């Protein structure tokens, strides 16, 4: 695929796609398959499918420090990235280098910005949970008065969900829940015996809180379409963040990039850090982008008829804020003044855990890459808790203790050693995934004096949990504890951790360039098109008006495919 990659080019492309992660990959695929000459611009290095998964198939014993990253290296390069669950010596090459990617947080606040700057972006690292928003998720802001009304509804996005799901491959049951709409799906992963028991017991105790198997972008039974992509069945290793040569989970490398390249319409400019957009005031159009070479720091420009920003929520907003002109002194496409505001992330800060008695003869094989899930049961104002607004989902998990859990127990000699080889107790837990209200004061801006190595102003992030999020997690912890206790679990305990975990670690940051019907209070319209500049689109999480409670990546894909369809038609009708 070496002929895909370019550096300098005088060609005027049909579209520039900035970013190569989940949304950038989808934008490129959809445009290329429609015949558009497309340039994908990626700030990081090339990562080739299979070849560059250097940690794959390697056990912990093959790493010098058994997967632990050297302390000095962590301190110098990965002090923020180490907070991600997927960070280890086998995956660190897929994470951004904090030394080269500085940002600042406002005094008294904190934000963990997890970054993956390479071809494929965070599609190589995401947790693959894939759920549709429901009808109430698009209505929540209007219903309770927090945030602006989404300009789209579930029915607008439903056919695009189906479109991307068929290509991606989603392992899921047909659960037939209004709160969690069905997906076009492959067979779901199996339940463990304790999970099946608790599923039935909780259904009787809490009929409004059904537990389903988590829906994940894994090929449990590949279709002909998936096989044609060069992808095969998931091996249930749960080492996905190392890269998957099987292509069994969805990523840019395994799926959308090959589809786009196959058309002959794709070129990629790697190691190209976008500094700003080039704006033609007379035509009111974005005509290209300015980039700084990731390695040499040389500057160059690329030109096109349309620009799709897919650089991640904060990445896209940083580019917009840094693209200033007489027309847009506070950032391009920012006549509303809301660019950078309403930053949100999911609130994963409450958990309850208990012991499941019995099932001593039950175990499981493999490492299933998903787990049970209880959808948000406080999905509309009439179901809100008294002390706070919105709600939360509960992600469940079960496992048997092994030698690691027993390593601090009392004992010695042969009996103690033999005990280490035996499976221990069954544990079952519930972890909350709560909404964060859209609030104007949670925002990002350009730092007035600090820049990075490419001369781009650093982001200054001002974001913190409000009392609403804290009350939600207090309630979620106690609610989960009560559910487990009533279900018969023993030694149940719960805790919250919002006081020690800042926003960002869900890695579901959204907002900052939200869509809306009113140009005075939003950056984009319902097709992710700039209100101010017709040929500029933003289709990553920056466009979101609220977080809902489900993981956002499937919705990223659906709104991107929908926006491309709209943009292609507008372009061909010469309205862009």
User: Nearest Cα to 444, choosing from 277, 327, 290, 330?
Assistant: 330
Q: Give a yes or no: residue 179 inside a domain.
A: no
- Domains of the chain: total: 2
Decide: 364 and 192 in contact? Cβ < 8 Å. yes
Looking at the structure, tell me whether residues 361 and 478 fall in a common domain.
yes
409-462 confidence digits (pLDDT tens)? 777 888 777 778 778 899 999 999 999 999 999 999 999 999 999 999 999 999
Q: What is the pTM of this model?
A: 0.96
Looking at the structure, tell me whether residues 131 and 82 fall in a common domain.
yes
User: Nearest Cα to 106, choosing from 447, 451, 499, 509?
Assistant: 447
517-526 long-range contacts, CB within 8 A, separation 24+: 517/149, 517/151, 518/148, 519/335, 519/336, 520/336, 521/148, 521/336, 521/338, 522/148, 522/151, 522/336, 522/338, 523/320, 523/333, 523/334, 523/336, 523/338, 523/339, 525/151, 526/151, 526/152, 526/156
Q: Give a yes or no: residue 50 inside a domain.
A: yes
User: How far, in Å, CA of 384 to CA of 154, rounded?
Assistant: 21
* Residues lower than pLDDT 70 in the chain: 1-2, 406
Decide: 79 and 96 in contact? Cβ < 8 Å. no
H/E/C letters for each residue in 366-420?
A: CCCCCCEEECCCCCCHHHCCCCCCCCEEEEEEEEECCHHHHCCCCCCHHHHHHHH
Q: Listing from the earlier edge strand, what are the strands of the sheet with 457-462?
A: 104-105, 457-462, 443-451
User: How far, in Å, CA of 228 to CA of 137, rounded?
Assistant: 35
Tokens found for residue 312:
């991640």
Residue where one domain finishes, among candidates 501, 516, 550 = 501
User: How far, in Å, CA of 131 to CA of 181, rounded?
Assistant: 8
Q: Give a yes or no: residue 183 inside a domain.
A: no
Which residue intervals of 280-400 are DSSP H helices?
313-322
Q: Give a yes or no: residue 178 inside a domain.
A: no
Looking at the structure, tell me whether residues 369 and 258 fall in a common domain.
no
Looking at the structure, tell me whether residues 373 and 423 fall in a common domain.
yes
In this prediction, residue 387 carries a pLDDT of 95
Cα 369 to its chain centre, rounded Å, is 16
Which residue intervals of 9-56 are DSSP H helices?
22-33
Looking at the structure, tell me whether residues 250 and 388 fall in a common domain.
no
Q: Give a yes or no: residue 187 inside a domain.
A: no
Looking at the structure, tell me whether residues 144 and 226 fall in a common domain.
yes
Tokens found for residue 210:
């059904």
Looking at the structure, tell me whether residues 341 and 361 fall in a common domain.
no
Looking at the structure, tell me whether residues 324 and 417 fall in a common domain.
no
Looking at the structure, tell me whether residues 162 and 242 fall in a common domain.
yes
Residue where one domain finishes, among candidates 485, 501, 517 = 501
Looking at the structure, tell me whether residues 440 and 556 fall in a common domain.
yes
> Where do we find the tokens 């689109």?
537
Q: The domain that contains 11 carries what CATH number?
A: 3.50.50.60
User: How far, in Å, CA of 428 to CA of 195, rounded?
Assistant: 8
Q: Give a yes or no: residue 121 inside a domain.
A: yes
Looking at the structure, tell me whether residues 69 and 83 fall in a common domain.
yes
Looking at the structure, tell me whether residues 84 and 94 fall in a common domain.
yes
Q: Give a yes or no: residue 85 inside a domain.
A: yes
Q: Give a yes or no: residue 184 inside a domain.
A: no
Residue where one domain finishes, among candidates 450, 476, 501 = 501
8-65 confidence digits (pLDDT tens)? 999 999 999 999 999 999 999 999 999 999 999 999 999 999 999 999 999 999 998 9
Three-class DSSP category at 213: strand
Name the residue range of residue 490's domain: 194-214+348-434+466-501
């Amino acid at each position: 695929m070496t002929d895909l990659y370019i550096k300098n080019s005088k060609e005027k492309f049909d579209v520039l796609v900035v970013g190569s992660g989940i949304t950038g990959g989808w934008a490129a695929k959809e445009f290329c398959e429609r015949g558009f000459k497309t340039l994908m611009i990626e700030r990081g290095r090339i990562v080739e499918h299979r070849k560059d998964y250097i940690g794959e198939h390697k056990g912990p014993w093959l790493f010098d420090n058994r997967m632990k990253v050297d302390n000095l290296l962590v301190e110098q390069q990965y002090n923020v990235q180490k907070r991600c669950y997927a960070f280890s010596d086998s995956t660190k090459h897929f994470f951004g280098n904090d030394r080269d990617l500085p940002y600042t947080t406002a005094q008294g606040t904190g934000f963990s910005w997890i970054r993956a700057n390479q071809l494929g972006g965070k599609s190589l690292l995401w947790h693959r949970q894939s759920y549709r928003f429901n009808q109430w998720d698009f209505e929540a802001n209007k219903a309770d008065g927090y945030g602006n009304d989404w300009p789209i509804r579930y029915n607008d996005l439903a056919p695009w969900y189906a479109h991307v799901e068929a290509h991606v491959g989603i392992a899921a049951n047909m659960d037939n829940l209004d709160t969690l709409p069905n997906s076009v799906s492959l067979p779901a992963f199996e339940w463990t015996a304790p999970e099946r028991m608790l599923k039935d017991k909780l259904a009787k105790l809490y009929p409004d809180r059904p537990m389903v198997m988590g829906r994940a972008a894994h090929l449990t039974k590949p279709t002909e379409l998936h096989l044609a992509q060069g992808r095969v069945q998931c091996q249930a290793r749960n080492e996905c963040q190392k890269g998957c040569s099987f292509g069994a989970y969805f990523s840019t490398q395994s799926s959308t990039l090959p589809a786009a390249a196959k058309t002959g319409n794709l070129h990629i400019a790697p190691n190209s850090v976008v500094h700003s957009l080039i704006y033609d005031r007379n035509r009111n159009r974005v005509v290209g982008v300015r980039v700084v070479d990731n390695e040499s720091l040389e500057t160059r420009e690329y030109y096109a008829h349309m620009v799709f920003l897919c650089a991640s929520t904060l990445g896209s907003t940083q580019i917009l804020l840094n693209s200033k002109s007489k027309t847009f002194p506070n950032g391009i496409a920012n006549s509303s003044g809301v660019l950078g505001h309403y930053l949100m992330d999911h609130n994963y800060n409450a958990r309850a855990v208990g012991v499941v008695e019995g099932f001593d003869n039950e175990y499981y094989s493999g490492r299933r890459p998903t787990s049970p899930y209880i959808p948000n049961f406080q999905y509309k104002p009439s179901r809100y808790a008294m002390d706070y607004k919105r709600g939360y989902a509960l992600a469940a998990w079960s496992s048997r203790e092994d030698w690691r859990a027993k390593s601090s127990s009392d004992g010695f000699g042969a009996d103690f050693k033999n005990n280490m080889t035996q499976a221990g107790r069954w544990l079952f837990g519930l972890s909350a995934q709560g909404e964060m209200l859209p609030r104007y004061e949670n925002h990002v801006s350009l730092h007035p004096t600090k820049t990075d190595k490419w001369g781009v102003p650093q982001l200054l992030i001002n974001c913190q949990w409000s009392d609403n999020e804290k009350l939600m997690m207090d309630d979620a912890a106690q609610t989960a504890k009560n559910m487990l206790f009533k279900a018969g679990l023993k030694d149940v305990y719960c805790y919250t951790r919002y006081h020690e975990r800042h926003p960002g670690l869900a890695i579901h940051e959204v907002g900052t360039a939200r869509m809306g019907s009113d140009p005075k209070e939003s950056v984009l319209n319902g097709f992710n098109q700039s209100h101010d500049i017709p040929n500029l689109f933003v289709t990553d999480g920056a466009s979101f008006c609220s977080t809902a409670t489900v993981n956002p990546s499937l919705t990223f894909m659906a709104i991107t495919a929908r926006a491309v369809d709209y943009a292609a038609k507008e372009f061909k009708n010469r309205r862009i």
